Chains A and B, each alone.
Chain A
Amino acid sequence: MSDRPAPLHTVNKSPLAGPALQSCLAHLTDGAAVLLMEDGVYAALAGALCAGLLADALRDHPVYVLGPDLALRGLAGRALVPGVSIVDYEGFVTLATRHSLVQAWV
């Protein structure tokens, strides 16, 4: 990981609804991070089809999930892919300040 500020990527689609998550994860550069939000939070579920993809990404990149969007969907108490961190909207803002830009994979 480099010290150069890198993008924060947001994904708001279910991983089974289209290529957004897969495409996002394929374009991560050194220092980049991922935030799952809206229907994108389903990707964080442990045991889901894409859990392996996410686990691979987590070796080199932080992955965050928006807590309010987990709760809204009945997922607040569910097991998540190990290493995924839950943030609130203030956390989202902080991540945006720490990264060079925010790229939405919609």
Chain B
Amino acid sequence: MKFAILVNEAPFGHQAAQSALSFARAVLSSGHDLVRVFFYCDGVQNANRLAAPGNGETNLVRDWSRLASDNNVDLVVCIAAGLRRGVRDANLAPGFRISGLGQMVEAAVLADRLVTFGG
């Protein structure tokens, strides 16, 4: 089955982004397709490579990048939500790309299930 994931919360302010990552890994380990993870609202902060968590802390930005490189997952950041919050090409973490809300709509259309995390 084809899944898409919508992440609406920042990586360190809320558990939702971590939940989304765990769910994404479970989708892949269960043998399903993950067509796209779309980052919207405060979720765009998951793509900010300037985030520098302390030693021993989870680094979700890095973990998303690894998920993308290891599994060829499409990580898309909403351009409008990103610009509002200072997430742009200059500080975009590896594996993410910036595009419009149309990519969220497309993900919802392409996937059999869209699962929302955060709010």
Contact = CB atoms under 8 A, between A and B. Distances in A.
A96 B113 contact: yes
Interface string A55-89: 00000000000001100000000000000000011
A89 B114 contact: no
Nearest to B30: A93
Give the interface size bracket for A toward B: 10 to 19
A106 interface: yes
B119 interface: yes
Interface stretch (A23-31, A45-53, A97-105): A97-105
Given A93-B30, A94-B30, A96-B3, A102 B19 contact: no
Chain A interface main SS type:
helix
Given A37-B19, A93-B26, A97-B32, A102 B113 contact: yes
A90 interface: yes
B22 A89 contact: yes
Contact of B32 (A88, A93, A102): A93
Interface in B87-119: 112-119
Contacts of A96: 3, 113, 115
Nearest to A102: B115
Nearest to B117: A104
Nearest to A20: B119
A30 to B, nearest CB: 20
